[in-house]
Amino acid sequence: MKRVCTAALLFVAGALAGRAQEVALPNRPQSVKFAAIGDNGTGDSLEYDIGRQMAAHHSRFPFELVIMLGDNLYGSQTPQDFVKKFETPFRPLLDAGVRFYAALGNHDNQNEELRYPPFNMGGARYYTYARRNVRFFVIDSDLIDPQQLAWIETALTNSTDDWKICYFHHPLYSDGKTHGSQVDLRVTLEPLFVAHGVNVVFSGHDHVYERLKPQKGITYFVSGAGGQLRKGDVKRSDMTAAAFDQDCSFMLVEVSGDDLYFQAVSRNGASVDSGTVHRQPRP
């Protein structure tokens, strides 16, 4: 009962706080709908605002899962921290049956998070799962050891799904001034992504939102402002397609047939970017 009341209160608060909550996505019945957040686990008011906005949007765009792009919990990771920095801000979504699938970031403690049931990691640093015609590959970008690299190649090879979506913490492409592109990681991972037809990659780490122009046929998103913000941190370049660094944000995504629709939403509910990625034929 208490949970229901909390959810209702948060939902109402979210609805009141949300200014626009416009969903610029088709919202088709059989599509795969998900949200993306990165670098959220602070437990402070910014994360709670994002949680409320996500809950408010969920009522209009019923996404079934949330991909977490790392730095899911900052600082200490006691059971109370999991409540404060994850369960409470996202309680309405958890109560609505939305499943979260976490990737590890540099601030995450794998000893605590891998077996934390709501993160659905199954005790693994890297893993894969699918929803209808979409397969997700969750990578631990902190340490790309030979075993993980072999696993990525095998998992990508074995996948016959229409859409291959990879996500991990450190961006291969980013115009964030603080961290920027992880080029050594790019040289390691990008050839595999290209060879095995990965369509879209999501990352965090830079506390901004950015969409990159397709690189070698792959669309890259940075969504690392789910609870932290580095205002004015984007230094636009030739590869910037869109960027937002003035407030915290999260993403809504819908995969329907050969199209992936995306929308980036700010902390106050404004749509800051949206568009479509059309699936390219496999090489």
- List interacting residues with other proteins (CB under 8 A): 74-77, 106-111, 141-148, 170, 178-188
Q: Of 230 and 279, which CB lies nearer to other proteins in the complex structure?
A: 230
Quote the tokens at residue 180.
């920027």
Measured from the Cβ of residue 150, the count of other Cβ atoms closer than 10 Å reads 10
Nearest to 142 by CA among 226, 78, 205, 77: 205
In sequence order, the 6+-apart residues with CB closer than 8 A to the CB of 39 are 69, 70, 71, 105, 204, 205, 207, 224, 225, 226, 227, 228
Q: What are phi and psi of 194, to 5 degrees?
A: -65, -45
Task: Name which of 75 and 122 has its Cβ closer to other proteins.
Answer: 75
Q: With respect to other proteins, which residue has the nearer C-beta, 168 or 261?
A: 168
- Tell me how far, at minimum, the Cβ of 110 lies from other proteins, in Å: 7
DSSP assigned state of 120: -
Q: How far is CA 259 from the centre of its chain?
A: 18
Q: Name 29's Cβ contacts closer than 8 Å, sequence gap at least 6.
A: none
Pick the closer one to other proteins by CB: 216 or 282: 216
Min CB(109)–other proteins separation in Å: 4
- Of the pair 141, 274, the CB lying nearest other proteins is at 141
Least spacing, CB of residue 112 vs other proteins, in Å: 9
Rounded least distance, CB 107 to other proteins, Å? 5
Shortest Å, Cβ 1 to other proteins = 35
